[in-house]
Amino acid sequence: MFKFSFPNKLDKKVPLLLPVCSDQIKTVPKKLLNGLSKKQTEAVRAALRKGVPDDGLLPVYSGDATVLLMLLAKEKSLKTRSVRETSSQIFSAARKYKIDGLTILTGTLNDELVRAMREGIVIGSYEYNDWKGVIHKEKAKKQTTLKSVSFTGNKTAGESKRLLQLQKSIALTKDLINCPPKTATPSYLEKKSREIARQLKDVKVTVFKEKELKKMGCNGILAVGRGSHEESRLIILEYKGGGKKAPIALVGKGVTFDTGGYSLKPSQYLESMKQDLGGAATALGGFYAIASLGVKKNVIAVIPTVENSINSHAYRPDDVIKMYNGVTVEVTNTDAEGRIILGDALAYTAKKYNPRAMIDMATLTGACAYAVGNDFTAALGTNNDLISKIIESGKEVDEPVWELPLHERYKKELDSPIADIVNCSKLKAGTVEGGLFLQHFVPKEINWCHLDIASVAFDESKKQATGRNVRMLLNFVKKY
């Protein structure tokens, strides 16, 4: 990871990055060019007259230090999100143009936009190379890597520690989702959880394995994991930063690979099913950010984790499961397994901890992207104030959340002829159905919100995790 610094003087040998708004190209403000040499100024003006490429980044050479131009939207319409997204390309651009250090001239940007730029650079520096081999290593030896970034004209040096911890938290989430399923198993999630507990103060971890889960009556977790040689688990991390106040619970679905069980997924949907632990990864990343930054709140992360595989012991359609809270579930689709393990986890968390807020997150339904697209997280819940604060927290960090209804008239769709409910009906509003199912495992007095992150956790075009909602959870917990 590179270092941030805030120099009083410019090092004339270090390349510069200059943010330029699109309405500053023709009539470049003098303030924007402060710090550039005469040669650099002339070269920048000439480059701007020719235009900046589509990716918004252009190196300008003059004989003095390189100036990397970063084109932004019009100054009055600049948003933190667009600045963050453009800045996330700086790390790869620096490698492309063989730049190992940058001084950023903040120019006309205000503190909020500069902060977004810093976040973009830090988050954009993420690379997942754990499984790269000899070819990659040989290429890496020849590559230049950005190691230091300096900012001028800005007084928020204290942000550096927060940003680097945030990067570690988001990287944790991305690493877990990107990791191949042969490695990222339930036992691996336990290992990572124990590592988190060792690294942080005021954190303890508890792990229930199958013997304990059977005694507890967590039959939903046990049923879904029965087809795998990997032992299922319920992992609980507790952070005590807020005195005696009731905790905020983050419950994350941890299906480390989802075949669909006997309701087997079509082959095109099997690829990338390593992302089905996205809820667990997001909960752990959010928890790590909260605890590592010393947020003065009590928070627990609850991770039910299984592998949904097929063998002669696997659970089947037509099975009936008696869940932790006594609700019986007729299995109509073994590929609707995430809600079953979450049901046990939610009911246990509510009874054991009586949290003042309980938020579950899961890559629960393929229908989610059809409902809200690939830019929104879907939210459903029982407490308007809680949902409003989650939506507000997402808006503030540019991770939008959209509420869907737990519509009362749809509940009858989950009625079963032989049990209390089915785990999957023919309701077309699949994301709403998932929320309605989970509602059966949350006591009415608990403030609860379900986040379906299937639309945002994984970028299918890049085949990479996004790390979305870690920042939102941190922002939410700090304020709630």
- Res 302: pLDDT: 98
pLDDT, one tens digit per residue, over 337-366 is 999 999 999 999 999 999 999 999 999 999
**Three-class SS state of 414:** helix
CB 168 within 8 A of CB 288: yes
Distance CA 41, CA 323 (A): 69
Q: Token pair for residue 311?
A: 């063998």
* Cβ–Cβ < 8 Å for 119, 86: no
> What pLDDT does 76 receive?
87
> Can you tell me which residue has the tokens 């997402």?
394
Percent of the chain having pLDDT more than 90? 75
The answer for residues whose C-beta is within 8 angstroms of residue 431's C-beta and 6 or more apart is 364, 365, 367, 368, 371, 372, 378, 380, 404, 452
The reported pLDDT for the residue numbered 53 is 67
Catalytic residues: 265, 339
Q: pLDDT tens across 379-389, in order?
A: 999 999 999 99
pLDDT score at 361: 98
The per-residue pLDDT for 284 is: 98
Q: In whole angstroms, give the CA distance from residue 235 to residue 194.
A: 10
Q: Give backbone dihedrals phi and psi of 150, rounded to 5 degrees, phi first.
A: -115, 145
Long-range pairs for 110-116: beta carbons < 8 A, 24 or more residues apart:
111/154, 111/155, 111/156, 112/80, 113/78, 113/80, 113/83, 114/151, 114/154, 114/156, 115/80, 115/156, 115/159, 116/80, 116/81, 116/83, 116/84, 116/87
Q: What is the pLDDT of residue 134?
A: 84
pLDDT of 110: 87
Q: Which amino acid is at 225?
A: G
Domains in the chain, CATH or no CATH each: 3-151 (3.40.220.10), 163-479 (3.40.630.10)
| Under-50 pLDDT residues of the chain | none
Q: What is the pLDDT of residue 52?
A: 67
**What are the C-alpha distances in Å from 355 to residues 166, 286, 287, 347?**
25, 17, 15, 11
